[in-house]
A and B are shown apart, each in its own frame.
Chain A
Amino acid sequence: MRVALFVTCLTDQFYPRTGIAAVKVLEHLGCHVEFPLEQTCCGQPMYNNGLHAQAAALARRFVTIFEPFEAIITPSGSCAAMVRRHFADLLNSDPAWRDRAAAVSARTYEFVEFLDRVLKFNSVTAGVRWPGRATCHCACHLRELGLFDLPRHFLSSIPGLDLAPLAGAEQCCGFGGTFSVKYVDPSMAMVTDKVDALIASGTTTLVCNDAGCAMNIEGACRRRGVNVDIKSIAEILAEGLGLLPREGHG
């Protein structure tokens, strides 16, 4: 299968190992992975802030770049939700773009979703082994795709991985893009709850499939002097398949 990786701007700049892991895992599973170099951003920040003309321009750009591919895979729940749920809001009124956008949206998957729903990935038969304890932060935007619990189910099936519950997992970490810098008090209170829950979980490995949440939680942990290894599911799989060396304290 010829698939394109949409790495997303935050993952590209701040968590490149997630993108590397995704490529290695997908190639290991027999996909031909391409990385269209023209890609930048799906337009989510503009869309969420109400700049819909700007967001539509970036959405059209995205559609043009990614429409040659059978599947478009992204390691970020919020970017997947942007393409799948909101491109239609932006482009539906434009007959030249409506169908093209719908076709690309329908072929865009969050990384774990693609493994689970399209490749029918099974970590036992695939030979994944990741010994250690970890907990999982579910990114809110997976709600829009009906996938909020999928990362937890997915991780709990990995041999060796002891998945610790994270208290208040359904509460947002407080990132929310510009919300985190404009409404600092509630945003900080939310991330403080998340760090408290991480401490109480008894593990320092936090699996998180969204670069925005990861920056927020990791930044708050560092400020409080709390040890944390943030990993994406792609990294867990790449490490568990021996495609990347095991990193971190745990």
Chain B
Amino acid sequence: MSAHHAHDILFPALPYDMKPRSTRAAGDIQLQQFVNSATRSKDSGRRSTCRETFGERYDDLRRYAGSIKQQTLDHLDTHINRYIDNAQKHGVHVHFAKDAAQANAICLEIAQSRHCHVCVKSKSMVTEETGLVPALQAAGIETVETDLGEFILQLDDDAPSHIVTPMIHKDRTAVGRAFTRELGTPYSQDPAELTKIARDHMRALFQKADLGISGANFLIADDGSLVLCTNEGNADLSVGLPRVHIALVGIEKLIPALSDLPIFLKLLARSATAQPITVYTTIVKGPRQPTECGGPDEVHVVLLDNGRTGLLASDARELLRCIRCGACLNACPVYRKVGGGHAYGAVYSGPIGAVLTPALLGLANYADLPRASSLCGACREACPVDIDIPGQLIRLRAKLVDQRSMPWSERTMMKAWTWTLKTSARYRLASRLLRWAATHMSDSVDAQGRAWLKRAPGPASGWTVGRDLPAPMPQSFREWWLREHGSHRP
């Protein structure tokens, strides 16, 4: 249940310990079902649609898209300046925010000086990052999430648990209950009926809203436009109807030219939801022109740093290529098994969150995230911009060792193990000791003569919570080889 506050889910006390939430999720059968079935179907959909469309060239395409983003990041100052020049030509007001507080202050100042009272907001992870909605509401501006998933989470005071499908941890009965409780509509769990309730409710809000807020999927440097991809059309309405529009955008969203957009649109929709393209793709150039009959009077773009330039200067700069498709979350077995995004204790979850969050908010605050991975590499294979997430996880683990954040006992054990492996004589002696000890602690022997332990001591005890642990075989390969080939040394 979502008894917690949305804010506490995404902004927990630091340093964050992942285990309480992941253990709770492990025992929640319903949550496991929601997250497992949704991520598995999205992941297999992505794989089949990408294979059908791109065939053997899929990996080449991912690398190409990654290289476009990387080259943009390598000259980000140039692209930002070009973007600003071109956007200003269309009458867009461009602002810079160095951190979350400044971003919220800029948005608030725009809203208040333009006497805005009702805000319709489309889905944006960056606004979660800065906590913009609570800031607007605290200032008396009624702010409504218009993405259906986000709207339901807002009603429940719950937080998104996935970058693309924010209420992956809920089902439609939860939606029906939230609507009955908060909107007073009769309970239903029929998707068509629920959608109608949401639409009727939101339409009235769209009509009276005087402020629209969105993020952006891409900013295009050479023509100064911003691109919004949605499936519900809510972003279009939040741009088109209110008189003022604000887009809060991370500086990493730039791409050089309109001609670069198609490859990203193709990869984004397929990677995110296995669609050939999102239902609505909107390119916003600026405020309504004299010859146009619709659109906002003012468009503001707030470019957000909030740690990104620091990241750009580090060896984790490739993380800024991310286009927030969520494919790595869907592919990740750990994300599936910890009950989705809330276990990551931050706005960005899953594999990308496990590397991005420590980079932005401090490794010491989030030491669990890079450790809680089997390094299976499914995220890397899924990433449409070829980010080496497992490599970044390992880099963070090396930093934890350098910062002495690895427990002393573990570090000492690893060092002793390395020492043992540095000569074959030590290795042979250690393996004989291990075999002797394990065989003495074992409680059964299988048909091949392998001894098994039901309960292992010390650091191996985690293994035997649900698995038997094998003892080394009575005859190792090395012993067999020596018997067969003598002690001949090549």
A residues apposed to B, CB below 8 Å: 4, 7, 9, 11-20, 23, 34-41, 43, 45-52, 54, 57-58, 61, 68, 89, 140-141, 143-144, 148, 168, 170-172, 174-177, 179-192, 215-216, 218-220, 222-223, 247
18 more CB-based (< 8 A) A-B contacts, given A16-B475, A181-B459: A14-B470, A16-B479, A19-B477, A37-B482, A46-B418, A48-B397, A51-B418, A57-B418, A61-B422, A140-B375, A141-B377, A172-B374, A175-B374, A177-B375, A179-B372, A192-B466, A220-B467, A223-B468
Question: Is B380 interfacial (CB-CB < 8 Å)?
Answer: yes
With contacts A48-B397, A172-B333, A189-B32 taken as known, whether A34 is within 8 angstroms of B490 at the C-beta atoms is: yes
B452 within 8 A of A: yes
Interface residues of B in 441-490 (CB under 8 A from A): 446, 448, 450, 452, 454, 459-463, 465-470, 472-473, 475-482, 485, 489-490
Specify which of A15, A68, A187 lies most central, judged by the most chain B CB atoms within 10 Å of its CB: A187
Contact A174 B374 (CB under 8 A): yes
Out of A57, A140, A186, name the residue touching B378 (CB < 8 Å): A140
Report if B401 contacts A (CB, 8 A).
yes
Residue of B nearest to A167 (CB): B40
A38-B424 CB under 8 A given contacts A14-B473, A16-B477, A140-B378: yes
CB < 8 Å neighbour of B26 from A38, A43, A189: A189
Docked Cα-Cα span, A177 to B466, in Å, equals: 16
Complex CA distance for A186 and B450, rounded to whole angstroms: 27
Give complex CA distance A183, B333 in Å. Answer: 13
Smallest Cβ distance from B483 to chain A, in angstroms?
11
- Asked whether B467 lies within 8 Å of A50 as measured between CB atoms, the reply is no
On chain B, the residues within 8 Å of A15 by CB distance are: 473
- Verify A186–B333 contact, CB threshold 8 A: yes
What are 27 A-B pairs at a CB distance below 8 A?
A7-B478, A11-B477, A12-B478, A13-B473, A13-B476, A16-B475, A37-B489, A38-B423, A39-B424, A40-B423, A43-B418, A46-B418, A48-B397, A50-B398, A52-B401, A54-B414, A58-B421, A140-B377, A179-B372, A180-B462, A183-B372, A185-B26, A186-B333, A188-B466, A191-B466, A219-B468, A219-B470
- Per DSSP, are chain A's interface residues mostly helix, strand or loop, or mixed? helix
> In the complex where A20-B480, A40-B421, A185-B337 touch, is A179 in contact with B472 (Cβ < 8 A)?
no
Q: Say if the beta carbon of B431 comes within 8 Å of chain A.
A: yes
In the assembled complex, the Cα of A52 lies from the Cα of B469 at a distance in Å of 28
Which A residues are CB-close (under 8 A) to B23? 185
Please tell me if the beta carbons of B477 and A58 are within 8 angstroms of each other in the complex.
no
The number of inter-chain residue pairs (CB within 8 angstroms) is 208
The chain A residue with its CB closest to the CB of B26 is A185
CB atoms of A176 and B376 under 8 A apart: yes
Chain A residues, CB < 8 A from B417 = 45-46
In the complex, which residue of chain B has the Cβ closest to the Cβ of A20? B480
The answer to whether A176 and B414 have CB atoms under 8 Å apart is no
Which residue in A20, A57, A185, A187 is a CB contact (below 8 Å) of B422?
Answer: A57
- The answer, among A50, A143, A187, A218, for a CB contact under 8 Å with B374, is A187
Contact A41 B421 (CB under 8 A): yes
B106 at the interface (CB under 8 A from A): no
Q: Report the interface size for chain B: residues with CB under 8 A from the other chain.
A: 77
Within 8 A of A (CB), among B411-432: 411, 414-415, 417-418, 421-424, 427, 431
Expressed in whole angstroms, the Cα–Cα distance for A48 and B475 within the complex equals 29
Q: Does any Cβ of A come within 8 Å of B198's Cβ?
A: no
Q: Which residues of B contact A218 (CB under 8 A)?
A: 470
Instruction: Write out the residue numbers on chain A whose beta carbons fall within 8 Å of the beta carbon of B380.
Output: 143
Instruction: Choose from B26, B418, B450, B481 the contact partner of A35 (Cβ within 8 Å).
Output: B481
Residues in B with CB closer than 8 Å to A177 are 374-375
Indicate if B406 sits at the interface (CB-CB under 8 A). Answer: yes
Q: Which residues of B lie under 8 Å from residue A58 when comparing CB positions?
A: 418, 421-422
By the criterion CB–CB under 8 Å, are B398 and A186 in contact? Answer: no
Does B82 interact with chain A (Cβ within 8 Å)? no
Known contacts being A13-B431, A16-B475, is A172 close to B378, with CB within 8 Å? yes
Bound Cα distance A184, B450 (Å): 24
Contact A215 B470 (CB under 8 A): yes
Is B394 part of the contact surface with A, judged by Cβ < 8 Å? Answer: yes
Bound-state Cα–Cα, A190 to B473, Å: 26
Q: B17 contacts the other chain (Cβ, under 8 Å)?
A: no
Across the interface, name the chain A residue whose C-beta is closest to B417: A45
Interface residue B115 (Cβ < 8 Å from any Cβ of A): no
* B463 pairs with A219, CB closer than 8 A: yes
Closest to B466 in A: A188
Interface: B70 (CB within 8 A): no
Please determine whether B375 and A143 come into contact, CB atoms closer than 8 angstroms: no
| Contact (A143, B377) CB under 8 Å given A36-B490, A51-B418, A52-B398 | yes
A247 to B336, CA, bound (A): 36
State the CA gap A57–B427 with chains docked (Å). 15
- In the complex, which of the residues A16, A47, A144 has the most CB atoms of chain B within 10 Å of its own CB atom? A16
Question: Is the Cβ of A184 less than 8 Å from the Cβ of B398?
Answer: no
Report if A16-B414 is in contact (Cβ < 8 Å); known contacts: A35-B481, A182-B462.
no
* CB atoms of B477 and A219 under 8 A apart: no
Tell whether A16 pairs with B476 under 8 Å between CB atoms, given A140-B378, A186-B333.
yes
The verdict on B238 contacting chain A, using a C-beta distance below 8 Å, is no
Q: Is B371 an interface residue (CB 8 A)?
A: yes
CB of A177, distance to nearest CB on chain B (Å) = 8
Expressed in whole angstroms, the Cα–Cα distance for A242 and B431 within the complex equals 31
CA A57 – CA B417 in complex, angstroms? 12
Closest residue of chain B to A13 (Cβ to Cβ) is B472
User: Contacts A183-B371, A187-B374, A188-B466 known; A40 to B414 CB distance under 8 Å?
Assistant: no
Residue B284 is within 8 A (CB to CB) of chain A in the complex: no
Instruction: Decide if B452 touches A222 in the complex (CB within 8 Å).
Output: yes
Most buried by A among B401, B411, B421: B421
Contacts of A9 in B (CB 8 A): 421, 427, 431
Residue numbers in B under 8 Å from A40 (CB-CB): 421-424, 427
In the assembled complex, which residues on chain A have CB atoms less than 8 Å from the CB atom of B306?
none
B334 on interface, CB distance cutoff 8 Å: yes
Separation in Å of the A210 CB from the closest CB of chain B?
12
